[in-house]
Structure 1
Amino acid sequence: MTKNVGTVLGVIPARYNSSRFEGKPLAKIAGVPMILRTYNQVKQSSLLNDAIVATDDPRILEFCHTENIPCCMTSSGCLTGTDRVYEVSEQLDYDLYINIQGDEPVIDPKSIDQILTLFSVHGDNYAAYNLYKYITDETEINSDTIIKVITNELDEVMYMSRLPVPFSKAGMVPNFKQQIPIYGYTKNALKTFAARAKTINEQFEDVELLRFIDMGLQIKMEETNVSSIAVDTPSDILKVERFLTAQKLN
């Protein structure tokens, strides 16, 4: 049974001072700044009411104003993108907030709609909603920039790791699931998240959704086949440009 999810805001956290790639949101991909590409992808979702960039840097704010992209300032003390989305939820009142990472310039808008459909079925039964896809490429499986997720038989999160989990002592070949970095939360879930400092497993893995798991709260997952290429380092821009060329999307 489905229900109306109410009003929905897509939030794109964008931080300038990244330790691995300073100025990343404004880095150009085939001549177009990454944050603009991400915003244009998000706006293609058929189910969002609005979309906004959330930043703590005046350079990103100025760029967004130049491009007529809605943007709001958040504090520099945000520990994660989800903490930044929480600050937006304190300024703008919606029923549901979708966190789309600012370094996902080719994120498929269908993934946003999929999160909303999932929420329409399960509502407040879960603290957060997320997606995964199966991966078989050894480089991706062993990459510490790609988050792998273990779910139970109900597609609820058991753990997330930068390591290639699950490990098979029995010699079986695991099915590895890559987390897609797009999350859905209610205002209450964001308030619960932001009320805590980083939890122990969140600190170990540097995976923000583990904060919910450490607190004993559940996250609902669903399989997807959408495209997702995170830009973590300058070399990742070439991956995105190759993808755009292959898909004839330049």
Structure 2
Amino acid sequence: MKIVGIIPARYASTRFPAKALADIGGKPMVQRVFEQASKAHCLSKVIVATDHPDIEKVVKDFGGNVCMTRADHQSGTDRCNEVLLKEAGFDYAINIQGDEPFIDPKQIELLASLLDGDTELATLVKKIDSEEELFDPSVVKCVKGVNGQALYFSRSAVPYDRRNAKSDWVGQNNHFKHIGIYAYRTDILKIIANLPPSPLENIESLEQLRWLENGYSIHVAETDIGSIGIDTPEDLKKVSQFL
């Protein structure tokens, strides 16, 4: 399988404008993401997809591949689709979050291991190990079947465990959080990028529900590696331990 890694890096951000250019130990965040992704041997090419010339210039300056995309995309999925309209010849694309400067290449390799030509879409999950995560609506939960396919994603603590008190849910190992990295078979990406928003997606504000509602399967692999996203300037303090 020929796989391209795409790093969506838009300029505008309500909580942290231009965060792709934020300095982390002497390097812009987008460069750190690019360098980590490039360590994944499964990727034939890594491309930064941006909507702003300042980010384009920075990527070119450190020698990375960059593709200019429209500014009005609603999601990283849509931005990845535009890249593939210009970059042909790939079987799969992996959408790598542009705000995770220390993403572990092993996560990308694990996701790529699911891509056999039949897999339509794929993502990662990790066991939830704290009540704070379990009941936090900003932490997306995933329910998966015995065949490794995602059944549902929610901001609620699902599944609801009637057998145990809520204070004991974490210890039962039945709850998984979604790790926001996606793999798309390229023909499927072209289709899902043009689907209208779905009812469940509108309720939960989760685009992956649109894919499930329209009958597409999402294969899930479990990782034990966490990730740290940078959403605000204050979050930069969290990454100092990794430098």
Alignment correspondent of 2:62: 67
* 2:103 maps to which of 80, 103, 107: 107
Aligned to 1:29: 24
Specify whether residues 142 and 106 from structure 1 end up closer, same or farther in structure 2 by C-alpha distance, changes over 3 A only. farther
2: distance between equivalents of 1:91 and 1:73? 10
Percent of pairs with identical residues: 37
* In 2: Cα distance, 1:59 partner to 1:199 partner: 34
Aligned residue pair count: 236
Aligned to 2:136: 143
Q: Kindly provide the CA deviation profile for residues 4-60 of structure 1, in whole angstroms up to 9, marking residues without a partner as x.
A: x2x211000011111222111111223332111111110100111110000111221
* Structure 1: segments with no counterpart, 5+ residues: 245-249
The 3 A distance-change label for structure 1 pair 114 and 211 is same
From 124, 138, 141, the equivalent of 1:131 is 124
Query: Deviation at 1:107?
Result: 1.0
Does the residue aligned with 2:115 lie in a helix, a strand or coil? helix
Contact 2:92 2:115 in 1 (8 A): no
When structure 1 is superposed on structure 2, of 18-27 and 40-49 the one drifting more is: 18-27
Which string of whole-angstrom CA distances, capped at 9 and with x for unpartnered residues, describes residues 164-204 of structure 1? 22232343525221111211111111111111122222233
- Superposition RMSD in Å: 1.6
Q: Which residue of 1 aligns with 2:214?
A: 215
Give the ranges of 4+ consecutive aligned residues of structure 1 lying more than 4 Å apart after TM superposition: none
Residues 29 and 141 (structure 1), Cα distance of their counterparts in 2 relative to 1, 3 Å cut? farther
Question: Are 1:171 and 2:164 an aligned pair?
Answer: yes
Mark the runs of 5 or more structure 2 residues left unpaired by the alignment. none
Cα distance between partner residues in 1 of 2:46 and 2:190: 20
Shift of 1:69: 1.4
Q: Alignment partner of 2:215: what SS?
A: coil
Distance 2:137 2:230 in 1: 13
Shift of residue 152, structure 1, vs aligned partner: 1.5
1:136-183 deviation digits (Å, cap 9, x = unpaired): 122222333322111112121111122322232343525221111211
**TM superposition score normalised by structure 1:** 0.88
TM-score calculated relative to the size of structure 2: 0.90
Q: Are the equivalent residues in 2 in contact too, given 1:127–1:212 (CA < 8 A)?
A: no
Secondary structure, aligned partner of 2:30: helix
The structure-2 alpha-carbon separation of the partners of 1:129 and 1:14, relative to structure 1 and needing over 3 Å to count, comes to same
